[in-house]
Amino acid sequence: MEKSAYLSSAYLAPVQYYAKLYEYPHVYVEQYDHYLKQTYRNRCIIATAEGTQALSIPTEKPSTPKCFMKDIRISDHGRWRHLHWTALESAYKSSPYFDYYQDDLRPFYEKKYTFLFDFNEALCHTICQLIDLHADIRRSNDYKQVFDSGESDFRESIHPKKNFRDDAQFAIRPYYQVFEKKHGFIPNLSIADLLFNMGPESLLILRDSVKNNSQS
């Protein structure tokens, strides 16, 4: 049996998340979990001249205390699309591949999506295409609680407040970053950081960040 991974929905997810998309033949993105704030579901972390910066997508308050992720709606509050794209442009305009990929990503900050899950899903598929990552990604059919052998649950372990170094399958391979001389290498940032800095070599970084695939 080919192994499978279960992941939460995520906005410009960290490198650790995309390493799972590389490692696992089949990936299920959870749409029936209860939405939680301050997670990668609506937040990504990038590197700027001043250090790390979190970009959060505002969401509408759910009508019920426990709302499925698939039903969470994006809010237009605070011109977030403009602010996020401006932040990405400011952080990565001098990176080697920003000019090459910006036309692929800018439309996500111009088109209005109703649901956060749909936005994250479409953005993830585009990122995978850009880095030539052929992941078999499917939506979950229900909230699974019991897992068979060969199935791994990362839905809550890939989290901004949890140490990615606790993941025995992941050891990020350092790569060039625009502000590395100022801040040192900052690990496990948003996939946008890897994409804009490394371009086509992003796939090699993901490959070498999976421990059992490490070339070092």
Q: What is the per-residue DSSP string for 105-171?
A: HGGGGTSPPSBHHHHHHHHHHHHHHHTT---EEEE-SS---S--TTEEE-TTTS-TTS-GGG-TTB-
Decide which of 183 and 62 is more confident: 183
Give phi and psi for 137, each to the nearest 5: -110, 125
- Asked if pLDDT for residue 172 goes beyond 90, the answer is yes
What mean pLDDT is predicted for residues 145-165?
A: 93
Element (H, E) at 20: helix 15-23
**Which residue, 143, 176, 175, is CA-closest to 6?**
143
Give 213's pLDDT tier (boundaries 50, 70, 90).
low
Burial label, 204 (beta-carbon count in 10 A; 0-12, 13-18, 19+): middle
DSSP one-letter code for 66: S
The per-residue pLDDT for range 104-135, each reduced to its tens digit, is: 999 999 999 999 999 999 999 999 999 999 98
The pLDDT of residue 176: 97
What mean pLDDT is predicted for residues 33-45?
A: 94
Which amino acid is present at 110? E
The pLDDT of residue 85: 98
Give 216's pLDDT tier (boundaries 50, 70, 90).
very low
What mean pLDDT is predicted for residues 176-185?
A: 96
The stretches of 44-115 forming alpha helices (DSSP H) are: 80-92, 98-105
What mean pLDDT is predicted for residues 19-23?
A: 97
Q: Are strands 136-139 and 4-8 parallel, antiparallel or unpaired?
A: unpaired
Give 168's pLDDT tier (boundaries 50, 70, 90).
very high
pTM score: 0.95
